[in-house]
Structure formats: structure tokens, C-alpha cells
Amino acid sequence: MKSLLKQYGVKTVCEEARCPNKSECFSQPSAAFMILGSSCTRNCGFCSVEHSVPVLPDPEEPGRIAAAVQGMGLHYAVITSVTRDDLDDGGASQFALTIAALKSLCPDVRIEVLIPDFRGNADALKCVIDAGPDVLNHNIETVSRLYSNVRPQAVYSRSIGLLNAARHMAPDIRTKSGFMLGLGETQDEVMELMSDLRAAGCSLLTIGQYMRPAKKNIPVVEYIKPEVFEAYGELALEMGFEYAASGPMVRSSMNAHEAFYNVRNRDLV
């Protein structure tokens, strides 16, 4: 997988964010492709992605991503990016171009996009939605109270609002989100977060354990027991989520195809 990624000149969030599941996903093969460079304009406390001045969008990148997906024989592609607050549209047009390239070269491939908040820019969100992804994912990451420490440049209500806006713009596109446990949240706060996501129309959910990727990142407050993850997963389904993956090693893009196809198959029954 590393050789193929190097061959096509593409990056993955699996490597840039030091995901602990990289070896499992790469052996399938499965990967979440990262567009718009590897330098982020934000500096979230939990994330190991480089924070520095980013480069301009690469016009050849959408074609390389599509060629990589075709060459690897993938049936489901996840496209994500660093946050690009330096760009007027937050990088939305690059997402749209990548979706278009995939549809042109790999028309049978299902596409999930994991997007930043675009600073609440509704036109940017519409640009991505109009390109026609199968799943639109935006991670809420943590409970509202912890945003000032975990995501100081993000806004909880803005992220909830993005998911709600996506639901109204394109009801046929399923929305997805994910968050971490172990950052100091309470059970009541987690339940409130899940309720907010459901109220915004989010139908697919991932819940995982926060693991400190480097010493510069915020420390783990608590390692959550597996039975607690299981209980939250069951609660999510009771609340109306169509799919919920909840466990210590669960990550937003890990086995992303399972959520889509499990729900699709349910629709076809």
C-alpha cells in the first residue's frame, strides 16, 4: 500500500494522523485519501497533523486520487482534507473536483467525503454536496464544553449546523459524524451530543477512544472500558442512528464501507 501511494503521489490521513489502525486498513486494502496538502491552518489539541503555512491546491491532485483508487481496485473511497481556512471556499472546490474525477474514471466506486467546517460557508458546503458524494461526514470530535481546549479554532454549534444544513440541502445523501471519548466528558454530555447529532439529521455514527498521538498533544484523561463503548453504541441505535460503530479502536474512516453497505442492504430488504 505504501508503495502504491508513493507511485500515485497521494497522501492518506492514515499516515499523516498516525492512525493506530493503519496496518489493518492497508492490508485490505483501504485508505482515506487526504487532499489539499498535509499542512493544516488549525492547531487542534488532539491532532498530530502538521500545523504550518499550506501550499496552494494542486490542480493535478483530483486525477491522481482517481487513478490511485482505480489502480488499487477500491469499491469505496474516502476523501478527506486538512482544514484550509486560508482558502475562500475552505477547499470545497477541490473536494468537488476530486468527486468528479472519481465518478469519471471509477463510476462504480462509492464516495464518502470527510469535510472540515468551511467556517460555516453554506456555498462551500453546497459545492461539495452538488458534486454528489454518497456519504457526507463531518466529525464533531468532542462535547461542547471541551471545545475551547480540544478544538479552540472550531465552534460546536457551527459543526452541528453544517450537518443540519447538509440534511436539508440533500436529504438523499446520508450524513455521518464521529467523536472521541476519554477527554474528560461526562455521560450526560455525551448523551446531549448524540441528541444534537440526531436532531441535525445525522444517521451514521462512530465513537472511539482518544489516544495521544504525540507529547505535544493534550493528554488522555481516561481510558474508557469496552462495555461503556458497547452501551453507547446500543444507545445510538435506540436513538435512531442507522449505523453506529463504538469501540476503543474505532476511527471515523476505518471500515467506512461497512456503514454504507450495511444501511444500503437494510434499505433493500
For residue 116, what is the domain's CATH number?
3.20.20.70
Instruction: For residue 269, tell me if it sits in a domain.
Output: no
Mean pLDDT of 238-265: 85
Given a contact cutoff of 8 angstroms between Cβ atoms, the answer to whether 4 and 64 are in contact is no
Mean pLDDT of 48-60: 87
264 has pLDDT over 90: no
- How confident is the model over 56-106, as pLDDT tens digits? 999 999 999 999 999 888 889 999 999 999 999 999 999 999 999 999 999
Mean pLDDT of 237-266: 84
Give the pLDDT score at 18: 52
Instruction: For residue 90, tell me if it sits in a domain.
Output: yes
Mean pLDDT of 48-62: 88
β 110-114/76-81 pair status: parallel
Instruction: For residue 73, tell me if it sits in a domain.
Output: yes
Question: In this predicted model, which residue has the larger pLDDT, 260 or 241?
Answer: 241
Instruction: For residue 169, tell me if it sits in a domain.
Output: yes
b or e along 77-109 (b: 16 or more beta carbons within 10 Å of the residue's beta carbon)?
A: bbbbbbbbbebebbbbbbbbbbbebbbeebeeb
Report which listed range, 9-13, 15-19, 143-147, 257-261, is most confident.
143-147
Instruction: For residue 89, tell me if it sits in a domain.
Output: yes
Instruction: For residue 268, tell me if it sits in a domain.
Output: no
Instruction: For residue 106, tell me if it sits in a domain.
Output: yes
- How confident is the model over 126-139, as pLDDT tens digits? 999 999 999 999 99
Report the share of the chain in percent with pLDDT over 70.
Answer: 87
110 has pLDDT over 80: yes
Mean pLDDT of 41-48: 89
Q: Give the least confident one: 14-18, 39-43, 117-121, 134-138.
A: 14-18
- How confident is the model over 219-236, as pLDDT tens digits? 999 999 999 999 999 999
Tally the domains of the chain.
1
Give the pLDDT score at 11: 67
Print the domain residue range for 169.
2-263
Instruction: For residue 220, tell me if it sits in a domain.
Output: yes
Name the one residue in this structure whose C-alpha cell is 453504541. Answer: 233
- How confident is the model over 159-196, as pLDDT tens digits? 999 999 999 999 999 999 999 999 999 999 999 999 99
